[in-house]
A = this chain, B = another copy of it.
């Protein structure tokens, strides 16, 4: 395998994975030693920055991730005008609902249900102390699993999770979600 081919594979892996991934994990996937993988990724980071590309590789400690560049932000923002409303947005509420009913649950599963990434909603919920990390799953990437907090119970006036409305009402909620999706398509 030549270097160009390895770079292509790494790009593909970063794209498909889309979340931060450790360089060690990448080295396992491409079956190459850590040092060489490190070096190749470092040169990819430079190339992505140097060439006028729309995406970049950002590095956080031993993790890397594909992301858009800040200078294109204004265009991406045009895709969807800001929706300002009081309290939690629909997106955040939906994420919270999924966590409440399916906890403990990893991010990937929430995203599977909602069909969109929900990093922003998760960080809002964590910030508001409505959810918290409950540990990690023992599988690839050791994903964090989330659950609701005491603040959540208090905020929604529940004595316990058993007080959550029965699941049939929850199904109605996901139909709303379809409507929302329709709006954006």
Contacts and interface: CB of A to CB of B under 8 A. Distances in A.
Interface in A46-65: 52-55
Contacts of A68: 12, 15-16
Interface in A36-78: 52-55, 66, 68-69, 72, 75-76, 78
A137 to B, nearest CB: 13
A171 to B, nearest CB: 17
Interface range for A: 20 to 34
A79 B17 contact: yes
A52 B12 contact: no
Contact of A16 (B11, B52, B80): B80
Contact of A140 (B4, B5, B79): B79
Interface in A62-105: 66, 68-69, 72, 75-76, 78-80
Contact of A7 (B52, B75, B140): B52
A25 B145 CA distance: 36
A10 interface: yes
Interface string A1-37: 0001101111111111100010001001110000000
Interface of A: 4-5, 7-17, 21, 25, 28-30, 52-55, 66, 68-69, 72, 75-76, 78-80, 140
Given A8-B54, A21-B79, 18 more contacts: A4-B52, A5-B52, A8-B72, A9-B54, A9-B75, A12-B55, A12-B75, A13-B54, A13-B72, A13-B76, A15-B55, A16-B68, A16-B79, A17-B76, A17-B80, A25-B79, A29-B75, A29-B78
